[in-house]
Structure 1
Amino acid sequence: MNLEQITTFLQVYQIGSFQETANQMYLPQPTISHRITQLEKELGKSLLIRGKGRVRLTEEGKAFLPYARHILGSLQEGRNAVASVEQGSAGKLTIGCNNSFASCVMPEVLDTFMAEYPKVALKVQCYASPTLVRFLKQREIQLAITRYTSNDRGIVYRSVYSEPTDLIVSPAHPFAKRKKVDIEEILRETFITYQKDTQYRDLLDTTLNQIQLNYITKIETNNLGLIKHFIKQNAGVHLSGSLYMRNELAKKELVQVKIERNPFSPSQVFIAHLKDETHSLDQLFTRHFESQINSHLNKEQPILNGMSM
């Protein structure tokens, strides 16, 4: 039994004639007869009463009719579902990112995505970058949004955003009135940083060790909200881009100052996925994310041109 046979059976029943069905399907009449015969042979029963006048259903044909209609209806629904996913109008997408990104950036990106594609079901999981890599490989998430890459050849990283690292201070700090501050002068201040064994801290330590410079840590935490709080309290300085700080910068609760002789490489935002395993919905979200983060966020904070450390 195949779809051609079922389609032909329904056409013959609806039209009432083998010859007219052949004409409308642009097929020879023997082809139509052969398909019906093969279908009846597989079912072991006659489905159509041939003779003079209109072709009619046998009792077995009447019993088979709703199932034939259901089969073709389900096929069309399947085609529509595939088309919907390709167009981004339906489907399920599981995304991973860290907690800081989830609280500072993702709400606006997801709001605009869901408004444009309301039939897409979203699941967002928040973990550090090494865990996101593991979840990608275990196929627990489809896409990972991360600031750091790995050496895993099975994962593809697409850079969607980049920015320099700047100095972030309280409006009450003396540096807040300056356009630029030299890196050695900055390092004489006390620092508010992420704690050790984080990728942020590893990058900070590696960069400064390469140029044989040290810094003094006063407060360390793995919570971005606490980092912002202590900067506002003028308890120390912090090195970051503007993306995570953009709301506070816009409200003038924090101040961003350029670093003279900046030793830090531009930081980036990546969208990661398993090699050769992206689908239409993944690609659609990636394009939307890249567009939003590079246009909408920039409009809110003109100074913004990339991602933090």
Structure 2
Amino acid sequence: MNIDEIQAFVAIADLGDFTQAGRRLHRSQPAISRRLSLLEDELGAPMFERIRGRARLTEAGRAFLPHAEAALAALKDGREAVHGLKTGMRGAISLALVGTLADTHIVTALRRFARRSKDVRLELRTASSAEVTDLVRRGEVTLGLRYFTSDRPELVSLAAGGEAMLVVAAPGHRLAGRRVRHARMLEGERWIGFPPVPEERDSSGHVLARQLIHAGLDAADVTLIDSLTAQKRLAQAGFGLALVPESSVRDELRRGALVALDVPAMRTTIPITTIHRRTGYLSPAAKALLALLTRG
């Protein structure tokens, strides 16, 4: 078993397609197939099955995947550890963050780090909270910034602040500009929100359900939409109310495409956390950035 075979396996598992895996690794599809065949011969079990043109992990493949990802991440750590000995506060740091966090205090921290560490290149990627977790877990990025704490035991979650949630509605909503002192004024309103993430103890979907119960609106009609962009567009169209991070609707509020409703019973703040792999290597520069992001 060698690194090329493991890389091919992980790429196929991630993309679900041999040809796309070949493009990622700059190899032909036959070369990817040969590498997987060698791996399967050594392990004595098929890693994938073809279902409607997609490569799906077999039970053996699912069992092997976390070990393969850990092996690739460990090799990356080794390279970075050696590089860190030579460069110190130089080189690159890879950071994945939820896109809406680019309009919060996090940007101020990143700007401060860039001024202090001119020899460090900050490589940024945006993704959803779940995707940020997967990128860090697989070792594709060193640090991650997401909403809520990750329950993954192989990851360390550190507090990096919080963000207020706003109730938003279409312009001209009957309660716009008024203080909604009594939650019963919202009875009969439809809500739009994320479905709760089943494998996590807390998520945006959990927050909406919890706040509605807190406000005595647990019988409210909730439409579950797994897209923040779609939620905002539906709210703009008057389809319902949405409870969203303040940074995610700043532009819409400025343009008047949405209005914020003043609903004290629905006020809440969600945590922002920085995550990294528990056994992963952190360069001096990565440690400095982590300290800046998580200091109170």
Contact 2:149/2:271, CA 8 A, preserved across alignment = no
Q: Distance in 2 between matches of 1:208 and 1:216?
A: 10
Partner secondary structure for residue 238 of structure 2: coil
Show the counterpart of 1:256: 260
Query: Is residue 2:205 matched to residue 1:201?
Result: yes
Partner secondary structure for residue 229 of structure 1: helix
Show the counterpart of 2:152: 152
Q: Distance in 1 between matches of 2:137 and 2:110?
A: 28
Partner secondary structure for residue 160 of structure 1: strand
Q: Distance in 2 between matches of 1:284 and 1:187?
A: 49
Q: Distance in 2 between matches of 1:181 and 1:234?
A: 22
Q: Distance in 2 between matches of 1:174 and 1:287?
A: 46
Q: Distance in 1 between matches of 2:120 and 2:248?
A: 27
Contact 1:97/1:144, CA 8 A, preserved across alignment = yes
Q: How does 1:129-278 map to 2 (within 5 A)?
A: 129-195=129-195, 197=197, 199-206=203-210, 208=212, 213-218=218-223, 220-262=224-266, 266-275=269-278, 277-278=281-282
Query: Is residue 2:87 matched to residue 1:81?
Result: yes
The 3 A distance-change label for structure 1 pair 223 and 206 is same
Partner secondary structure for residue 141 of structure 1: coil
Report the CA distance between 1:212 and its aligned residue.
Answer: 7.3
User: Which amino acid counterpart does residue 97 of structure 1 have in structure 2?
Assistant: L
User: Which amino acid counterpart does residue 112 of structure 1 have in structure 2?
Assistant: R
CA RMSD of aligned residues (A): 3.7
Contact 2:159/2:294, CA 8 A, preserved across alignment = no
Show the counterpart of 1:40: none
The 3 A distance-change label for structure 1 pair 280 and 247 is farther
Q: Distance in 1 between matches of 2:95 and 2:156?
A: 15
Q: Percent identity between the aligned chains?
A: 15
Q: Deviations over 1:257-301 (max 9, x none)?
A: 332334x6531111112347544322433455569xx9xxxxxxx
The 3 A distance-change label for structure 1 pair 185 and 282 is farther
Report the CA distance between 1:146 and its aligned residue.
Answer: 0.9
Contact 1:142/1:273, CA 8 A, preserved across alignment = yes
User: Which amino acid counterpart does residue 180 of structure 2 have in structure 1?
Assistant: K
Bigger mean CA deviation after superposition, 273-282 or 228-237 = 273-282
Partner secondary structure for residue 209 of structure 2: helix
Q: Distance in 2 between matches of 1:252 and 1:287?
A: 38
Contact 1:109/1:289, CA 8 A, preserved across alignment = no
Contact 1:160/1:269, CA 8 A, preserved across alignment = yes
Partner secondary structure for residue 245 of structure 1: helix
Please say which structure displays the higher CA radius of gyration. 1
User: What is the TM-score normalised by the length of structure 1?
Assistant: 0.53
Q: Distance in 2 between matches of 1:286 and 1:131?
A: 19
Q: Distance in 2 between matches of 1:266 and 1:108?
A: 19
Q: Deviations over 1:64-115 (max 9, x none)?
A: xxxxxxxxxxxxxx98832xx1xxxx3211112234446x559955983686
Show the counterpart of 2:32: none
Report the CA distance between 1:189 and its aligned residue.
Answer: 0.9
Contact 1:192/1:227, CA 8 A, preserved across alignment = yes
User: Which amino acid counterpart does residue 285 of structure 1 have in structure 2?
Assistant: L
Q: Distance in 2 between matches of 1:188 and 1:137?
A: 42
What count of residue pairs does the alignment treat as equivalent?
207
The 3 A distance-change label for structure 1 pair 232 and 207 is closer
User: Which amino acid counterpart does residue 180 of structure 1 have in structure 2?
Assistant: V
User: Which amino acid counterpart does residue 81 of structure 1 have in structure 2?
Assistant: T
Q: Distance in 1 between matches of 2:174 and 2:136?
A: 45
Which ranges of structure 1 fall in alignment gaps of 5 or more residues?
1-77, 295-309
User: What is the TM-score normalised by the length of structure 2?
Assistant: 0.55
Query: Is residue 2:115 matched to residue 1:112?
Result: no
The 3 A distance-change label for structure 1 pair 122 and 169 is same
The 3 A distance-change label for structure 1 pair 148 and 108 is closer
Report the CA distance between 1:188 and its aligned residue.
Answer: 2.2
